[in-house]
Structure 1
């Protein structure tokens, strides 16, 4: 039952993923969460993010940001990187994942999702059939509703890690 929340990959950060290898494997699109995936909650895109997105574009990736946040926040973050985005994405519902792929002209077989939350980012990606990467949150200081979700995430990740060691 908990396995429906298990990520396909659990990595240290968005910056530690081997994107060149993914491109060689045929992936062409990346959907990213923003807050605590690429930057601390509410922060603007920093130099590290700008460089990552330049690299991803030079590799050939099409990118779309997906955030449950408001337009102003997502536009502000996106200004220096200039990619497609969806705000108020209502993750984990499927509609925005499908819309994001439509915008960047990819499909579920050649798109990955990168995010920091199991019950929104990963579960939504899994519901659509996307390969997904769960990253460790950048900043432990979060809003109360996320802190509560993190408690339940730790339970799921405990069993995920236990099962991963068996394999």
Structure 2
């Protein structure tokens, strides 16, 4: 019943993903959500995220940020690392997932999406036919509309984890 929302993979953090393994399997493009996926909501780049993107660049990945936030937020986050980005993405709409792949020169077969929300990030990636990884939110403080969605996410994750067992 909830399978359309089930992630391909579910991890504690974006920072524990086996990016070397993904690269070895032929993946070349990574699309990231920003808030609560890489840093707490509204926070700037930190040392950990800067190290991650230096590592990803050295591995040979193309990266793109896909955010429902406005340009000012996404641009300020991106400034230190200069990746491709799409703001006001209207996730889960498929349009900007496809646009991100076009910007990176990748396609559905070699792109992975990483995000912290089932009903926007993961559902959009699944609808676009992209492999996806759900990560746990970095910080509990979130906007009210996200807090409400988290209650529904818990139900879906219950069935996802039950099926995985």
Q: Which residue of 2 aligns with 1:60?
A: 60
SS state of the match for residue 112, structure 2? strand
Unaligned stretches of 5+ residues in structure 1: none
Structure 2 CA distance for aligned equivalents of residues 143 and 51 of structure 1: 27
SS state of the match for residue 102, structure 2? helix
Structure 1 CA distance for aligned equivalents of residues 82 and 15 of structure 2: 18
Q: Deviations over 1:30-51 (max 9, x none)?
A: 0000000000000001010011
Shift of 1:11: 0.2
Give TM-score, length-normalised by structure 1. 0.98
Shift of 1:141: 1.1
Q: Which residue of 2 aligns with 1:88?
A: 88
Q: Which residue of 2 aligns with 1:134?
A: 134
Shift of 1:115: 0.0
Q: Which residue of 1 aligns with 2:149?
A: 149
Structure 1 CA distance for aligned equivalents of residues 112 and 39 of structure 2: 19
Structure 1 CA distance for aligned equivalents of residues 141 and 87 of structure 2: 22
Structure 2 CA distance for aligned equivalents of residues 105 and 148 of structure 1: 36
Q: Which residue of 2 aligns with 1:69?
A: 69
Q: Which residue of 2 aligns with 1:12?
A: 12
Shift of 1:82: 0.6
Unaligned stretches of 5+ residues in structure 2: none
SS state of the match for residue 103, structure 1? helix
Q: Which residue of 1 aligns with 2:26?
A: 26
User: CA RMSD, aligned part only?
Assistant: 0.4
> Stretches of 4+ moved more than 4 A in 1?
none
